[in-house]
Structure 1
Amino acid sequence: MQRNWKRAASRTLLGASRVVAGMNAKLRDPASALIIPPASPGSLGDAAMITSAIAGLRRHGMTRTDLLTASPWPIDQQPDEAVDMEAFLDRGSRTSLARGLPRLSRYGHGYLIGADILDGVYHPEPVLTRLAVLKEILAGGGEATIFGSSFSETPNPTVVDELRALPQNIVIAAREPLSHERMERLLDRPIRLVADLAFLVEPVSEPEVVKNTFAWIKHRRTKGQRVIAFNINYLHEKSNPGLTAAATSFLSKIVDADVAVVLVPHDTRTDRSDYVLAKSAAAGLSDLQRESIHLLNATTPCDVKSVMASVDLLVTGRMHPAILAMGTGTPAFSMVYQAKFEGLYRLLGLQDCDLLIDPQAFCTRPDQAAARTLTLLENGDEIRAIIQSNLPNVRTLAEGNFTSA
């Protein structure tokens, strides 16, 4: 009985809010935008896309750019205002939606950062709630866009149905050619080919954490060492319990080859985050070996991109450190998952450069991964040349996230 009463009350509130939203639509500002993030704070990759989205929208004429979030993000470009509808985004709360509706009707544009969540493989519910926000903005007379996303061969069927049913005037973009092909085939609608927003991240300052890392890299180079960066992804540990031990073995072989390593944690969520795993992997080294290891305590995507420009190679379990590195011309040797990497490397002309490795292969044969890393260091100039020749086109594609045509 109480549950039925609550449902009826929420329906009444939702109906009243739609009436107010309809009235507020007259106050809609065509040059205002609301950005919908793919998740809660904790990922530097998501922060990179938000940073670029805010900067890009302002560059393309938006005079007001807000962010749908209840918590602050570690970003280099701050929104004009944070809008809290977290209870709806995360739990589907109708009360939260009703409270937000009058605000949504005032935006001229809504932008969803689809990232790697859009296919619903991780969880379908957060995708569906985010799409619902886009549709409400569209219903109020605004425009809606889904920024460049990845899409696997095995998307969630409910999410696929919802995406197929979206109005044709909602722009959906894919961030690399393989996802573009999958989305057009599975969603049966035109999809815009772009590149990831993070390719547009531009460092705006040089904080102490970056200065200290530059000084450390310079010191190691004076000792004749080459320098790589290394990221470990806690998501890989679920199916590869030996990940940390393999990372320790990998680092040991790299350092013994007279190569220094900057550890680059990417995601701070969960008690087994990238940060925790990186520190655990380094803890398994000898005191002498750890002299060639430096932990980058980056707080924003720009911190990471600044440092990536100063290393010779990145070895990574996550895609956005690879994008931030290759956006500076630095090659990235990546552990693949969720069918996200292959299209990215094709976009940069690197599909034949043997720069991808399965996480299981890394865990079972870290010695081979280390050997491949050392080989890539020797061939770095050739790979850099390929990246640099393709970067202008990739950046142009990334700007395509913001075009209306």
Structure 2
Amino acid sequence: MKKRIRAALGHPRLLLFIDRLLFTVGPATNQRSTFSLLIAPPGAGNIGDQAMIEAYLENTPGDIRIICHGQQDIIVPDQHIERTRVIVLPGLIYGHLIPHVRSIGVFRRLLGRAQSLAITGADIMDGAYNWQASTNRANIAWLAAQAGVAVRILGFSWNGQAHPQAVTALRRATAAGVQLCLRDPLSAERARADGLANVTEVADIVFAARTVNFATASRLLYSLPAHCDYALVNASGLIGRTQGQIDGYVRIIRELQHQGLQVILLPHVSRPGGDDLPVCQAIHQALKDPQVVLVDQLLSPSEIRGLTASATLTVTGRMHLAIMSLYSGVPAITLATQGKVEGMMRLFGAEFLCIEPRPDFADRVITVAQQILSRPDDLRQHLHSKLPAVRRLASRNFDSPQQDIVNQKELSCAYD
């Protein structure tokens, strides 16, 4: 009974009803606009989430306020500390009525001074992981647009089976003027098919990142033979828990070694419910090979980009590790889940790099790896040729509404 009551008190429809009432009670503030406002992704042990935050900071001038669920969710890099303030609102997206009401009051006051609102969309808008949180994000976007604030949802994917409540909430938000930045052409097609408006085709905002840290990569590579070629291998805690997956990764790593590559096992997420580190440790233990390097902590996004920059190949169950490999033109064989990877690979004309995590995934990864390693320079040159266009698409996440119109006209002309 308690669970039912709690679920009812946290239902997005109830929260939106209360929010609409609160937003009608007097003006939020009469102060002038002073900062850009960002609603962060869950973070807290996810390098991809941290990478999106940092890409936003690197591409957004002026003062910034970041709303997050918990104090430890994100880390603000030193170069952005003076102009950035983190505001913890635990009930804004998650939780039931009382903490939400407390959070929405603070959010409304922030909106009254915000130049704009951005929401980090990633893969958390279509309801695949948590439909209530997805719906709440869309409802927050609608409220802000109704209050006259320019709102955009940054580079996100949209799967082919979005939750009906998330679809309805996002339709309402776009009708109020919220701009949707879909991070790949397949997601944009699906979004339009679901009746979503104001769709701008972009690429993931991490392709617009600017910092690369080579120091950590140099320390990690110091233990490897000089001038060796190496591969990065990641096993996702969401899809790599079974013994079959561990055995599959062992076979993949043995094949990469047979191809003359040193191997670095690299966790990308470490938090409850999806921790890569125990899976990577289990693979390392199964290999019983001291030449395989296990990274036993999460690196920063810039450190990851420093490590991927010189890799020959990446095999990963995490999309943002694939992105940070492709960022340097490094092929990334990716175990694709939630329909979110295929469209990104289409931007590079490299859909064959997507592998479904079926029981035979290791055979398929090995086949693709052999094809790549037989002529590695050919694929690298192809990926590098696509990067300038992908980076331009990523920069569209930060365009003004007027520039969006120009970009869409250019895109339509290109397709005609």
What TM-score does the superposition give when structure 1 sets the normalisation length?
A: 0.86
SS at match of 2:222: helix
* Distance change in 2, residues 1:162/1:44 (3 Å): same
Q: Can you give the 5+ residue segments of structure 1 that lack an aligned partner in the other structure? A: none
Instruction: Please list the CA deviations of residues 196-247 of structure 1 after superposition, one character each: whole Å capped at 9, or x if unmatched.
Output: 001112225445x33312423xx3344xx53111111111146x55212322
- Kindly state the Cα deviation for residue 296 of structure 1 after the two structures are TM-superposed: 6.5
Residue 194 of structure 1: which of 185, 195, 202 is its match?
202
State the one-letter code of the partner of 1:277: V
* Distance change in 2, residues 1:41/1:20 (3 Å): farther
User: d(CA) in 2 for partners of 1:367 and 1:15?
Assistant: 54
**Contact between 1:265 and 1:275, CA under 8 Å: does it hold in 2?**
yes
State the one-letter code of the partner of 1:359: P
Whether 2:53 is the aligned partner of 1:50: answer yes
User: d(CA) in 1 for partners of 2:19 and 2:49?
Assistant: 31
* Distance change in 2, residues 1:21/1:39 (3 Å): farther
* Distance change in 2, residues 1:113/1:368 (3 Å): closer
Match of residue 276 from structure 1: 278
Instruction: Please list the CA deviations of residues 129-188 of structure 1 after superposition, one character each: whole Å capped at 9, or x if unmatched.
Output: 222332333333321111111001100001101111113421111100000111111124
**Contact between 2:214 and 2:303, CA under 8 Å: does it hold in 1?**
yes
Instruction: Please list the CA deviations of residues 261-319 of structure 1 after superposition, one character each: whole Å capped at 9, or x if unmatched.
Output: 11221111127611111111011113xx3223342634311110111001101111111
Whether 2:178 is the aligned partner of 1:170: answer yes
Whether 2:299 is the aligned partner of 1:292: answer no
* Distance change in 2, residues 1:126/1:28 (3 Å): farther
SS at match of 1:382: helix
- Kindly state the Cα deviation for residue 255 of structure 1 after the two structures are TM-superposed: 2.6
What TM-score does the superposition give when structure 2 sets the normalisation length?
A: 0.84
**Contact between 1:250 and 1:366, CA under 8 Å: does it hold in 2?**
yes
Match of residue 349 from structure 1: 349
- Kindly state the Cα deviation for residue 21 of structure 1 after the two structures are TM-superposed: 6.8
SS at match of 1:83: strand
Residue 27 of structure 1: which of 8, 27, 31 is its match?
31
Match of residue 321 from structure 1: 321
**Contact between 2:125 and 2:135, CA under 8 Å: does it hold in 1?**
no
- Kindly state the Cα deviation for residue 100 of structure 1 after the two structures are TM-superposed: 3.3
SS at match of 2:65: strand
Residue 42 of structure 2: which of 19, 22, 39 is its match?
39
Identity of aligned residues (%): 24
User: d(CA) in 1 for partners of 2:243 and 2:32?
Assistant: 52
- Kindly state the Cα deviation for residue 391 of structure 1 after the two structures are TM-superposed: 0.6
Kindly report which structure 2 residues correspond to 1:4-403, keeping only aligned pairs within 5 A, or say none: 18=23, 22-24=27-29, 26-29=30-33, 32-58=35-61, 63-69=62-68, 70-72=70-72, 73-74=74-75, 76=77, 77-78=80-81, 80-92=84-96, 93-166=100-173, 167-203=175-211, 205-207=213-215, 209-216=216-223, 219-222=224-227, 225-237=228-240, 242-270=244-272, 273-286=275-288, 289-295=289-295, 297-351=297-351, 354-360=352-358, 363-364=359-360, 366-403=362-399
* Distance change in 2, residues 1:342/1:75 (3 Å): farther
User: d(CA) in 2 for partners of 1:156 and 1:49?
Assistant: 24
User: d(CA) in 2 for partners of 1:14 and 1:330?
Assistant: 46
User: d(CA) in 1 for partners of 2:240 and 2:230?
Assistant: 26
SS at match of 1:400: helix
**Contact between 1:221 and 1:227, CA under 8 Å: does it hold in 2?**
no
State the one-letter code of the partner of 2:60: L
**Contact between 1:234 and 1:277, CA under 8 Å: does it hold in 2?**
yes
State the one-letter code of the partner of 1:113: T
* Distance change in 2, residues 1:17/1:41 (3 Å): same
State the one-letter code of the partner of 2:66: L
